[in-house]
Amino acid sequence: MFTFAVSKVVKILIVAMTSLKDIISNLTSWEGMVDHLLRETFVFGKNVLICLVIYFVGRKVIQYVHKVLDKIMSRKEFDPSVASFLKSLINIILTAALLIIIVTRLGIKSTSFVALLASIGVALGMALSGTLQNFAGGVMILLFRPYKVGDYIQAQGQEGTVREIQIFNTVIVTGDNRTIFIPNGGLSSNVIVNFNDQTSRRLEWVIGIDYGTDYDQAKSVILDVLKSDARILPDPAPAIVVKTLNESSVDIQFRVWVSRPDYWDVYYSVNEQIYKNFLAHGIDIPFPQLTVHLADKN
């Protein structure tokens, strides 16, 4: 009986010693895991800090390169349209290169990264076909030059002065100082009106006079106003015709040619002078009216 009890105690001690050994082994393993985790965290944190430094330094370098290119292109008298396009393209290329350097520093293999970029590129190419179209449109605009920086254009329901031609968009500034970004794809495949392409422009007015008014007198007053404005070009000569016998007025149309910069000034000035001179000569400009005849039933 005593021998059996001793045997049981020995077995219990052996099991306890084995369990204690396993616990110590596990504790050692956990310590190793924690130590490894701390080392990896330290290395990763160090790489992140280095990448942040690389990013900020890289951005400064890109800005410096941008300024240098700007000075070189200004000194070499590059076309502003080409210069803005090239600067935008170079900025994107340098930013992509900076991104690759940062990703490589974080431990991602460049070959894997390039393969990943290729896969993403295919997916993005399908999803962003419009963006690629805008890039192609920018290239077409630079090749065929329907407009350039500084031109006043009308396109896609907008109009303004071209401030910059980027790789994806054309930036215009409207007369009330709004900045509008128009995708190059739509510009390259739709109608563009370039108001700066010609040195002169034609102005046109339509003004109504009362029925019964002396047409020759009204025509003479209009001619006097046009001749008194030195900004109106003598060739082609001003043209004055009766355009329409309207319901409430006789509509007189007259056209003149002016230098492009004088377009709006002449337009508003002639409006004012026509009104004043018609008033001085007793020529009425009618408004829509309806004559009612009452029938006598008696």
> Is residue 292 included in any domain, yes or no?
no
Domain boundary among 146, 164, 194: 194
The CATH number linked to 188 is 2.30.30.60
> Is residue 50 included in any domain, yes or no?
no
Give whole-number Cα distances, 260 to 87, 133, 177, 225, in Å: 31, 33, 20, 20
DSSP 120-168: HHHHHHHHTHHHHHHHHHHHHHHHH-S--TT-EEEETTEEEEEEEE-SS
Summarised one tens digit per residue, pLDDT across range 42-86 is: 777 777 788 888 888 888 888 888 788 777 777 767 667 667 777
pLDDT band at residue 4 under the 50/70/90 scheme: very low
pLDDT at 65: 82
**What tokens were used for 76?**
């070499």
> Is residue 236 included in any domain, yes or no?
yes
Summarised one tens digit per residue, pLDDT across range 7-35 is: 555 555 565 566 555 555 555 555 556 66
pLDDT at 84: 73
> Is residue 102 included in any domain, yes or no?
no
DSSP 234-272: SSSPPEEEEEEE-SS-EEEEEEEEEEGGGHHHHHHHHHH
Q: Is 202 helix (H, G, I), strand (E, B) or coil?
A: strand
Q: Which residues of 225-237 are buried (b: 16+ CB within 10 A; e: fewer)?
A: bbeeeeebeeeee
pLDDT band at residue 215 under the 50/70/90 scheme: very high
Q: Is 179 helix (H, G, I), strand (E, B) or coil?
A: strand
208 and 190, same structural domain? Answer: no
Domain boundary among 194, 220, 235: 194
173 and 239, same structural domain? Answer: no
Q: How far apart are CA 113 and CA 189, in angstroms?
A: 36
CB atoms within 10 A of CB 283: 18
Domain boundary among 194, 213, 230: 194
pLDDT at 36: 59
In the chain, the number of structural domains is 2
Q: How far apart are CA 148 and CA 79, in angstroms?
A: 8
221 and 174, same structural domain? Answer: no
**What tokens were used for 33?**
């895991």
180 and 164, same structural domain? Answer: yes
189 and 206, same structural domain? Answer: no
> Is residue 34 included in any domain, yes or no?
no
> Is residue 164 included in any domain, yes or no?
yes
255 and 218, same structural domain? Answer: yes
The CATH number linked to 221 is 3.30.70.100
> Is residue 74 included in any domain, yes or no?
no
Phi, psi dihedrals of residue 228, rounded to the nearest 5°: -80, -10
204 and 188, same structural domain? Answer: no
pLDDT at 214: 93
> Which of 38-47, 80-89, 104-113, 231-240 has the least mean pLDDT?
104-113
In this structure, are residues 260 and 184 in contact, taking their beta carbons and an 8 Å threshold?
no
Domain containing 240 equals 200-280
212 and 264, same structural domain? Answer: yes
